[in-house]
Structure 1
Amino acid sequence: MKEHSKPTFESYNRDPKLYDEIFDENDNVRNIYATLFDLYSEHSAKDFARLNDKAKASFFNQGITFQVYGDHEVKEKIFPFDLFPRIIDPQEWQVIENGVLQRSKALNHFLWDVYHEKNIIKEGIVPLELISSSANYLDQMNGFDPPGGIYNHISGTDLIKHSDGQYYVLEDNIRCPSGVSYVICNRTALKRALFGVFNHYKTHTVTNYAENLLEILETVKPKGVDIPNCVVITPGIYNSAYYEHSYLAKAMGVELVEGRDLFVENDFVYMKTITGPEKVDVIYRRIDDQFLDPLEFKPDSALGVPGLMAAYKQGNVCLVNAPGTGVADDKAIYTYMPEIIKYYLDEEPILNNVPTYHCSRPDELKYVLENISELVIKPVDEAGGYGISIGNRLTKEEIEEVKETVKASPRKYIAQPIMSLSVHPTYIEENESFEPRHVDLRTFTLLGDQKEFVLKGGLTRVALRKGNLIVNSSQGGGSKDTWVLKNNQ
């Protein structure tokens, strides 16, 4: 590198076709990273190997793990954490924050509309068949007014920075978005491993998420309740995000429960305790819709609470996020986000969508089938990076298989151009060196009754395998600490 050249980064090879967040097109360190780059360059390869082990030990000792579901087995892994943080300046962050808040508000309006007047459908802006065919649309929510009028209390918006240096939204996650606990633990781990670097930057905290989440939960309490009793409901210890469930419950100072710990009587929800039943007013649920209540959904579900939906529809308990929100984070609905924002907020989108083709439209299906080698094919209702096909990584035989799969169920698939996700120096353990790896960013937005909050930071996810574009932890990805700088930096 021409400027700030140090031995630690001697083997770093910048790809001129990709947007590198540290180095500009002339191989110079960007100003915002100059101090950090110099600080890191003072360490040797052996130092980073030791610091990396220290960070891993921190995660192991805290029990920060996740489950990976394979074809034949389930593995529990320590969440991979990278030592080099991502930095976002205040002006850039303000655009991101305004943009994700705009999307969250528009999606909340959209959900109210599709479960009430359905004006956006009547006016032909979003097709009826797209809503009615969604696996996440719940008839049970029609005409129901959730407390405070809020459906997506918690939203996770996934962003990428493209080769043009602009941010694009990849998808909106408003069912049970996960990952915020790793944001907080990344900060803790980096402070323990490299405490001195924080003295050189004024960075917004991320440890205030839990207190803001609790405030949001309390704003949507049922009518007539002064001090609500809030709980977090989890599917149990074998769920991939169980660490997060337990972490957030502890951080908020509320009980972590499973379905068997709750019961419904006279349309009120109670928690079993050693001193007798205790009424529950707000449930932050980390259980998917179909498992919430065996009387309403899957009758064989042992994860939910019989009668829970009846209590909810009577207004005696609030569920966060509301059931049925998944109809709005369907990737087919994503294609209509610019129109949804304009319709409900009368604003232009602050953040751009990635150009998207929905295979249910015959002309777009034709284009997708003819150009699969240049596209990413995604199922509309999967999460965690599962089911994605990247065209230029497929053999001819695999391309034909994908074509047949898409043609069999066009409604279930969208396609997008293969976007050039930005890259960021990442410590690669087996090589004991920093190398460029693709990254994205998941932000977290909270909406309550007269309260909103965007966490000033996020989960920067890293595709640890060289050249890989899928950053999800379930697909071998890791994460970085994300620093949003204060204005007086």
Structure 2
Amino acid sequence: MFTEYKPQRGYDEYFSGTDEPRSALRPLLSSLGQLGLEELNRNHAAAGMLLKRLGATFRLNGSGNRGVERILPFDPLPRLIGASEWQTLERGLVQRLEAIDLFLADIYGDQLILRDGILPREDLETSQGWRPQMEGFRPPLNKWCHISGLDLIRDGQGTWRVLEDNLRCPSGVAYFLENRRVMKRMFPSLFAGRTVQPIDDYPSHLLQTLRELAPWTERPTVVLLTPGVFNSAYFEHSYLAQQMGIQLVEGRDLVCQDDRVWMRSTGGLEPVDVIYRRIDDDFLDPAVFRSDSMLGVRGLMQAYRAGRVAIANAPGTGVADDKLIYAYVPEMIRYYLGEEPIIENVPTYLCARAEDRAYVLEHLGELVVKAVAEAGGYGMLIGPHASQEEISDFAEKIKANPRNYIAQPTLELSTVPSLSEGELFPCHVDLRPYVLRGKGAWVSPGGLTRVALRRGSLVVNSSQGGGCKDTWIVSEQGGGTAQQSQSSQQGAPC
């Protein structure tokens, strides 16, 4: 099957630089070989139909595609990560989020990091995620980010790095869970003889985390607040609400009275203790943020400040999603925890700094430049793939608003074999693990591996033609037996 497969330069996760299969991948390659490319393609097409029947779609809202529903392209070749390597990544993710949480508590509190000159005040207060309305506030458990999805990449040497932080309303977990469901149904033979860490208990961990945010009651009522059916991630909103057994609500379903949040029901008003919000800060409460918002609940922030309702994630966490603030996270880890980062950042140039800006403008054709508040692969220049006109246009944008841009080296993201036009081709990937933080911390085993299915592309975002694949955390001992694998297919979570 892999005779014609040629790894590109950089780090391929299936094959070494000598084109030899990595030892941990040999059993999987054997199973794939028995399956054969023709059968793999046939089952792949059936998997796409299954995802469509399951409703696992996302909505494109960009220009020319508004309202178009698509399934997230799914690739059937799993990505494998060894258990010991994963344990290191887990520790690094928890460390990073602990520092970010302390940072959020500080900047909305005593602002010691500003007074000590670690972070310039101007960089903070010009961030689109900065919410001065949250100053002086202390959230339940004194935790700000409860549900996080951090983007990791492997560089050309195979070293893991953090590419971005996603703390406001991180998405993609429904596809992470559905990928495993589809793999077990369409490709059960690939699981035979190996132990893969289970993931389908994520909804129960999520629900437990949310309940822990309301210590004032033994039986908290949790709801998921969605903008509605026209949101690009509505499938995920309804999926998670159904999996947790909680109500999916819109702003019009909630009302605030006497510093409490209530949900309208056929039996009258019912109290709400925790809101898992999937709408941005600006739309949460028209009395505090955008006055023209029709999506939120008037009085919600008053109830929140009164300690009568919890919101996950806390308003104001989006400041840590700012790509300029991202550059300071290693210093946050040293400042708040007195530790060295377990997972390093990608080297980053801040165009707001004169010296960095001069270097970036001189080397635009070699760098990746990103707008600090954009997501989904938008507002980005990939220098080596850009035309001279695009480079010139971006240079003018940087000069006009340097605070709005950062730049990073064009990394050789690791590759994993993927089906591209019916053939196996090395495609670039990243990884979004999900971290839940209530009274403790829990990291999903693996995460959403996003794959750049367009040949040669470095952009993995679904809105830019990217897809996803299942991520397996596996024992390095080659563990597991056929009997264990068979039991997992009959109901044990995988």
The one-letter code matched in structure 1 to 2:173 is: V
1:116 pairs with 109, 113, 117, which one?
A: 109
Find the counterpart in structure 2 of residue 159 from structure 1. Answer: 152
> Partner letter of residue 48 of structure 1?
L
For residues 199 and 49 of structure 1, the distance between their equivalents in structure 2, rounded to whole angstroms, comes to 20
1:198 aligns with 2:188: no
Distance between the aligned counterparts of 1:401 and 1:89, measured in 2?
44
**1:295 partnered with 2:287:** yes
Distance in 2 (alpha carbons) for counterparts of 1:365 and 1:459 = 34
Does the 8 Å CA contact 2:221/2:273 hold for their aligned counterparts? yes
Deviations 1:226-274 (A, max 9, x none): 2110000011111111111111111111101011111111111000101
Match of 1:445 in 2: 435
Q: Structure 2 matches for 1:80-91, cutoff 5 A?
A: 80-91=73-84
Deviations 1:293-352 (A, max 9, x none): 111111111111111111111111100000000111211111111110011111100001
- 1:181 aligns to what SS in structure 2? helix
- Tell me the alpha carbon deviations over residues 449-479 of structure 1, each in whole angstroms, 9 at most, x when there is no partner: x221000110110000011001011111000
Q: What letter is aligned with 2:288?
A: E
Contact residue 9 and residue 433 of structure 1 kept, 8 A: no
Taking the TM superposition and a 5 Å limit, the aligned residue runs for 1:415-454 are 415-428=407-420, 430=421, 432-448=422-438, 450-454=439-443
Q: How does 1:55-454 map to 2 (within 5 A)?
A: 55-74=47-66, 75-221=68-214, 224-428=216-420, 430=421, 432-448=422-438, 450-454=439-443
- Aligned pair count reads 477
Distance in 2, Cα, partners of 1:73 & 1:254: 32
**Deviation for aligned residue 1:487:** 6.3
How far 1:135 sits from its partner (Å)?
1.4
For 1:82, give the aligned amino acid: D
Q: Are the aligned partners of 2:129 and 2:321 in contact in 1 as well (CA < 8 Å)?
A: no
Once residues 235 and 31 of structure 1 are traced to their aligned partners in structure 2, the CA distance between those partners, rounded to angstroms, is 47
Q: Which amino acid aligns with 2:469?
A: K
Alpha-carbon distance, 1:69 to partner: 2.4
Contact residue 88 and residue 485 of structure 1 kept, 8 A:
yes
Q: Secondary structure at the match of 2:180?
A: helix
Q: Does the CA-based 8 Å contact 2:452-2:459 persist in structure 1?
A: yes
> Aligned partners of 2:142 and 2:288: how far apart in 1?
22
Report deviation, 1:54: 1.5
Give, as a single letter, the amino acid of the residue that structure 1 aligns with 2:386.
L
In structure 2, the partner of 1:41 is 33
C-alpha distance in 1 between matches for 2:80 and 2:476:
13
Identity of matched residues, %: 48
| 1:67-88 alpha-carbon deviations (Å, 9 max, x no partner) | 1222233221011110100000
Quote the RMSD (CA, aligned, Å).
1.0
Q: Contact conserved, 2:377 with 2:464, CA < 8 A, in 1?
A: yes
Query: How much has 1:407 moved relative to structure 2?
Result: 1.0
Q: Does 1:482 align with 2:474?
A: no
- SS of aligned partner of 2:449: strand
| Cα distance in 1 for residues equivalent to 2:332 and 2:384 | 32
Task: Identify the residue that residue 458 of structure 2 maps to in structure 1.
Answer: 469
1:3 corresponds to which residue?
A: none
CA distance in 2, matches of 1:241, 1:211: 20
Q: Which runs of 5+ in 1 are unaligned?
A: 1-7
